[in-house]
Amino acid sequence: MIDMPLGITRAREGTEGISWNILGQTYVPKQVCESSFSWHATLPPGTFVPPHIHPMQDEFLYILEGRFDFLLDGKEDFAEPGDLVHMPRGIPHGIFNKSDASIKTLFWVSPTRRLYDLFWSIHNMGPNPDIAKLVAVSAEHEIDFLPPEDED
């Protein structure tokens, strides 16, 4: 892992010009080093990050535009611009755009662990990936997706 460089990552740029397509969402890395990793994310309407756990990382979202719906440790909640969402390691969480507009946020995790590498592994996997492959690749990178809840 690299040391954190001194400098400014401009508003419309990602680290080294990177922009990932993660299941129909756009992730633009803003900073990466061993102790932390941040990225700007745009989630189009109807997209989501299924419930999962980061066993080795704390995760945060600073909401920039739109309303995010969350499942945080089994409880539904929401966040709007200016809100900071705290998701401690080991706590299950899911992130959803249930609105009719794109929403934007700044994500970051600490420490970085293998998340940066995971995004390279699932970049362009498509809006309808092989779920078993996605879950397996994620587990290899220390992200554990939860099975869907039964709907009665």
What DSSP letter does each residue of 72-83 carry, written as one string? ETTEEEEE-TT-
Mean pLDDT in residue range 120-136: 88
Please report the beta strands in 3-134, taking only residues with DSSP state E, as ranges in sequence order.
20-22, 25-32, 37-43, 48-53, 58-65, 68-72, 75-79, 84-87, 93-96, 103-110
Torsion sign across C-alpha atoms 68, 69, 72, 77: positive
Mean pLDDT in residue range 2-22: 88
Q: What is the share, in percent, of the chain residues with pLDDT greater than 90?
A: 80
Domains in the chain, start-ordered, CATH in brackets?
A: 22-145 (2.60.120.10)
Separation CA 148–CA 14 (nearest Å)? 33
| Threshold 0.85, pTM exceeds | yes
142, 54 Cβ separation under 8 angstroms: yes
Per-residue confidence band for 2, with pLDDT thresholds at 50, 70 and 90: low
Mean pLDDT in residue range 110-132: 91
Residue 149 vs residue 49, higher pLDDT: 49
Residues in the chain, how many? 152
Mean pLDDT in residue range 90-101: 97
